[in-house]
Chain A
Amino acid sequence: MTEPILQVRDLVKHFPVQQGVVFKKTIGHVRAVDGVSFDLNRGETLGVVGESGCGKSTLAQVLMRLEQPTSGSALFEGADMFGKKSAAELRSLRRDMQVVLQDPYTSLNPRKTVGDIIGEPFEIHPEVAPKGDRQRRVQELLDTVGLNPEHVRRYPHQFSGGQRQRIGIARALALKPKVIVCDEPVSALDVSIQAQVMNLLGELQSEFGLSYIFIAHDLGVVRHLSDRVAVMYLGKVVETGTEDQIYEHPQHPYTQALLSSVPVPDPSLRNRRETIRLSGDVPSPASPPSGCRFRTRCWKAEDICAEQQPELAVRLDGGELAPDAEQGHPSACHFAERNEHVVS
């Protein structure tokens, strides 16, 4: 095994909830991310799935250092990411980690030409492309993401949603990063266009050896692109494993319910599929339930679930901790049990 490119340990991000106009008083915390750990290997895609409010986008922001974490650590190529850093150190870190955002309509400056948007990273990192070379580099990038290189002088509004997302990807690629955090990159796009962009992301990964953190709520999309998957619920990872382990042998009740809720595009399976329906909505991350956070919607919940927070560990059927951690994959449930039939 090679060393992971990114190691995240116990990452926590709480947002204070304040009251008062002049004398602000903190009355609570939104626990957006509450103790998340994972490794990202080189050339690998880690999918992060979960519903709205589970903290997946906050995770992206903290990893990009757009938000300062409350606690926890992350090592990028063995070096600490969150400690005090000089501007130069931060700049070099950001060169290696780029982001692709969800909304291609608001993430591109409407007053700039595509050439300026994609070329802007070079202003900050002139060492990547000397001034005279920039135009050529930008055109190369446009070509790489499947856009016409002659369109450098056009403005974002002259492009469709899918094309704009390609521009966002070109901008992320400009500095030859090692890791790209993709925060719902295809969810604003129509299916036929979504497939084009997903294929592009796949091609770029093998061409440039990129590692992706792929955040999405669409489980089909995540399966398609990911090598490993982490399922999040209310700021915590409830289950993590390879794409196959999560989709074919999910252990955590939430993962099972989530997979079971996804409609299958095959009318002949209608009413023949085992379905798990959750009741209610996700509780507020400002006051998450005690113990296991999923217990308020879980059909397996017992007293212990309210008292004791289940840790994320490899478990046997029935929820006991497995003595041999090499087998199976970690899940955070007192009553974890494999279910092989949720997907089809």
Chain B
Amino acid sequence: MSATDDGTGGSPKPRLLEVQDLHVEFRTREATANVLNGVGYHVDEGETLAVLGESGSGKSVTAQTVMGILDTPPGFATAGTVRYRGEELLSAKEERRRELRGENMAMIFQDALSALNPVYTVGFQIAEQFRFRRGMSRKDATAKAAEMLDLVKIPNAKQRVKEFPHQFSGGMRQRAMIAMSLALDPDLLIADEPTTALDVTVQAQIMDLLDELRRERDMGLILITHDLGVVAEVADRIAVMYAGRVVEESDAESLYKRPAHPYTEGLMESIPRLDQKGEELASIKGLPPNLADIPPGCPFHPRCHRAEEECRETVPELHELRAGRHSACHFAEELISRD
């Protein structure tokens, strides 16, 4: 479901969010970890960008920096820009950022149970936003909260607003989180591993719901995940992250057809497929680097099967190969043009 086939005739949509050359360090007494080393990506209105990567690749830290909820200390954004509709956020005042959160951008998390407050009803937590940000009365706000629960297809919403998070099942909690994040009608939603803790049948329901809401509201969606299957079903564009960098960025279809970075290629070959019984899985050897001690040159070179001298010395920049296809590999051109 790409933004261009919604009948807009391919005219470019306004840019919603642009992250450029973002650097974040985590400083601890023992060491400084370079968690982000020049991350850049963008999202347009109504578009789904999937940020794909393994643990420690920096995908969640980027999202936290965008939202302005990075724990400081230990995390410090040392360089780069984050622009929301052209407005620079990293240097913005906390008050302004607080205004934007909820109203313009919102985030949902993997673990909905710990993201909800156990001592307040679900309805109260959703209604809070209407009361404090819209100045509604308790009664009106609760009615609006019930509407929101209804929107995310929670059956019997009028009763459910009075219940506590522990009375909800895992899938319903995630729905309640989505209702809460959309309460003030933001146009950018960041979903950080929204379905990782859920069972597959429920995951499918939640992904359908997110996609439907995105389309209805023409919202930009950043979907952070490690699941290549989920990405293939909903993403318009994909940014693959490794060791705090975007190593490949592309439209979904071309990326799956022919990855332009050996890491992406390795990831794809490591998934056990449902539709085939394989023998040996091609795995990526070794481990992701220690972020306090990233190898020189291309950070992926110690695990890469095609690494050469150049890779050990020069960091490959993310460069454009074809329209809309970017890769940070010295041999990207070879990868993309082989049969």
The stretch from B37-45, B141-149, B277-285, B312-320 touching chain A is: B277-285
- Chain B: minimal CB distance from A247 (Å): 7
Q: Within 8 Å of chain A (Cβ to Cβ): is B1? A: yes
Besides A194-B270, A263-B207, A263-B227, 14 new A-B residue pairs in contact (Cβ under 8 A), listed by A number: A192-B283, A193-B54, A193-B283, A196-B283, A196-B285, A199-B280, A224-B272, A224-B281, A257-B201, A261-B201, A261-B204, A264-B274, A267-B233, A344-B275
CB contacts (< 8 Å) of B66 on chain A: these are none
B232 touches A191 (CB 8 A): no
Which B residues form the contact surface with A (CB < 8 A)?
1, 54-55, 169-172, 199-205, 207-208, 226-233, 235, 252-253, 256-257, 266-275, 277-278, 280-285, 287-288
Can you list, as one digit per residue, whether each of A167-194 has a CB less than 8 Å from chain B (1) or not (0)? Answer: 0000000000000000000000011111
Query: Known: A192-B266, A277-B204. Contact between A267 and B235, CB under 8 A?
Result: yes
A-B contact pairs, 7 of them (CB 8 A): A190-B226, A191-B267, A192-B267, A223-B274, A262-B274, A263-B233, A277-B208
Give the docked Cα–Cα distance between A163 and B208 (Å): 36
Within 8 A of B (CB), among A188-216: 190-196, 198-199, 202
Q: Give the docked Cα–Cα distance between A265 and B273 (Å).
A: 8
Q: A217-B200, A282-B199, A344-B275 are in contact. Are A277 and B232 (CB under 8 A)?
A: no
When chains A and B are docked, how far (Å) is the Cα of A261 from the Cα of B284?
A: 27
- A258-B201, A263-B230, A264-B233 are known contacts. Are A219 and B274 too (CB-CB below 8 A)? yes
User: How many angstroms between the C-alpha atoms of A199 and B287 in the bound complex?
Assistant: 16
Q: What is the CB-to-nearest-CB distance from B3 to chain A, in angstroms, rounded to a whole number?
A: 14
> Is A287 in contact with chain B by the CB < 8 A criterion?
no
User: Are B232 and A265 in contact (CB-based, < 8 A)?
Assistant: yes
Chain B residues with CB under 8 A of A262: 200, 229, 274
Q: Which has the most chain A C-beta neighbours within 10 Å: B199, B228, B232, B269?
A: B199
Most buried by A among B200, B235, B287: B200
Question: Contact partner of A195 among B226, B275, B282, CB < 8 A?
Answer: B282
Are A265 and B256 interface neighbours, CB within 8 A? yes
Q: What's the nearest-Cβ distance from chain B to residue A163, in Å?
A: 8
Establish whether residues A343 and B275, one from each chain, have CB atoms under 8 Å apart when the complex forms: yes
Chain B contacts for A259, CB-based, 8 A? 274
Are B229 and A263 touching (Cβ within 8 A)? yes
**A170–B232 alpha-carbon span in the complex (Å):** 36
Instruction: Using CB atoms, name the residue of chain A closest to B254.
Output: A267
- Alpha-carbon distance A124/B97, docked complex (angstroms): 60
